[in-house]
C-alpha cells in the first residue's frame, strides 16, 4: 500500500515537473521564451549548479528546504520515507502546519526564502484555496504546495525532484514496478 502511495506521488510530481496540470496557473509573465519546469538542465550537466556554485544533490536540496521552512515557522512532520531507489532523485518535506502560527504566511515566507537562495519561481497554480508554486534551481524543481484551510484539512509540503535523465528513468521504473 505504501509503495502504491509513493508511486502515485512520484507520478504526480513527474507530471507536474513536465508541465502538465498547469491549467489555471500562470507562468509569472515570462512569455513564450520562459523554460518550463521540465526543461531545466539536468543536475549532471555543466550548466547545473551555476546558481549555487556546484551541482545540487538530494541532501543539499533537503537542507535548503529545511532551513527555509523552519526559518519561516514550520516544523517537519514525520511521514513516509522516500523509497530507497528514489532517495537520490526526490526530497519530500511535509510541514506540521498545525504548529505554525499562520500557515499561509509561513508558506509565503518559505517560498520567499527559497527564492533568496537562488530558486527561481517558474509557475504558479492558485485555485480555490490551493497554491502550488514551482521553483527551479540547478536541475531540480521544488513543488511547494499549500492546500486547505486551518481548522480543516490543511496540507503543506515541499516535494523536490531531480529533472535529469537518470532520475526520470528511475521514476518511470518505479511507476512500472508498482503498477503490478
Predicted confidence (pLDDT) per residue in 32-75, tens digit: 333 333 333 333 333 333 333 447 999 999 999 999 999 999 99
- To which residue does cell 484551510 refer? 149
Q: Is the pLDDT of residue 27 over 50?
A: no
Q: Is the pLDDT of residue 81 over 90?
A: no
Quick one: cell of 158? Answer: 515541499
Question: Regarding predicted confidence, which is higher, 21 or 79?
Answer: 79
Q: Do residues 35 and 58 make contact, with C-beta atoms less than 8 angstroms apart?
A: no
State the pTM of this model.
Answer: 0.71
Does any domain span residue 165? yes
What is the tally of structural domains in the chain?
Answer: 1
Does any domain span residue 41? no
Per-residue pLDDT averaged across 111-137, rounded?
A: 95
Does any domain span residue 154? yes
For residue 151, the model assigns a pLDDT of 67
DSSP string, 65-115: HHHHHHHTT--BPP-PPPPGGGTTTEEEEEB-GGGSSSHHHHHHHHHHHHH
Quick one: cell of 92? Answer: 519530500
Does any domain span residue 123? yes
Q: Is the pLDDT of residue 153 over 70?
A: yes
For residue 179, the model assigns a pLDDT of 85
Does any domain span residue 44? no
Q: For the ranges 5-14, 65-74, 157-166, which has the lowest average pLDDT?
A: 5-14
Question: Regarding predicted confidence, which is higher, 145 or 26?
Answer: 145
For residue 34, the model assigns a pLDDT of 34
The contacts of residue 150 (CB under 8 Å, 6+ apart) are 97, 98, 103
Does any domain span residue 40? no
- Measure the CA–CA gap between 114 and 168, rounded to whole angstroms: 24
Per-residue pLDDT averaged across 99-122, rounded?
A: 95
How many percent of the chain have pLDDT more than 90? 54
Q: For the ranges 100-104, 110-114, 122-126, 159-163, which has the lowest average pLDDT?
A: 100-104
Does any domain span residue 38? no
Question: Which residue segment(s) compose the domain that 122 sits in?
Answer: 2-22+52-83+90-179
Does any domain span residue 96? yes
Q: Is the pLDDT of residue 115 over 80?
A: yes
The contacts of residue 125 (CB under 8 Å, 6+ apart) are 21, 22, 24, 25, 131, 132, 133
For residue 23, the model assigns a pLDDT of 35
For 83-103, the pLDDT digits (tens) are 889 999 999 999 998 888 899
For residue 109, the model assigns a pLDDT of 97
**CA-CA-CA-CA torsion for 59, 88, 133, 105, nearest 10 degrees?**
-30
Amino acid at each position: 500500500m505504501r509503495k502504491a502511495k509513493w508511486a502515485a506521488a512520484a507520478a504526480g510530481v513527474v507530471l507536474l515537473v513536465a508541465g502538465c496540470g498547469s491549467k489555471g496557473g500562470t507562468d509569472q509573465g515570462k512569455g513564450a521564451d520562459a523554460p518550463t519546469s521540465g526543461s531545466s538542465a539536468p543536475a549532471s550537466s555543466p550548466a547545473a549548479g551555476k546558481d549555487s556554485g556546484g551541482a545540487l544533490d538530494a541532501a543539499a536540496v533537503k537542507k535548503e528546504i529545511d532551513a527555509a521552512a523552519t526559518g519561516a515557522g514550520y516544523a517537519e512532520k514525520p511521514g513516509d520515507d522516500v523509497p530507497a531507489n528514489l532517495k537520490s532523485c526526490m526530497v519530500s518535506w511535509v510541514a506540521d502546519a498545525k504548529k505554525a502560527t499562520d500557515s499561509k504566511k509561513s508558506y509565503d515566507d518559505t517560498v520567499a526564502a527559497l527564492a533568496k537562495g537562488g530558486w527561481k519561481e517558474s509557475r504558479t497554480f492558485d485555485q480555490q484555496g490551493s497554491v502550488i508554486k514551482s521553483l527551479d534551481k540547478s536541475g531540480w524543481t521544488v513543488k511547494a504546495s499549500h492546500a486547505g484551510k486551518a481548522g480543516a484539512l490543511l496540507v503543506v509540503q515541499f516535494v523536490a525532484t531531480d529533472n535529469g535523465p537518470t532520475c526520470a528513468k528511475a521514476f518511470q521504473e518505479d511507476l512500472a514496478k508498482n503498477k503490478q
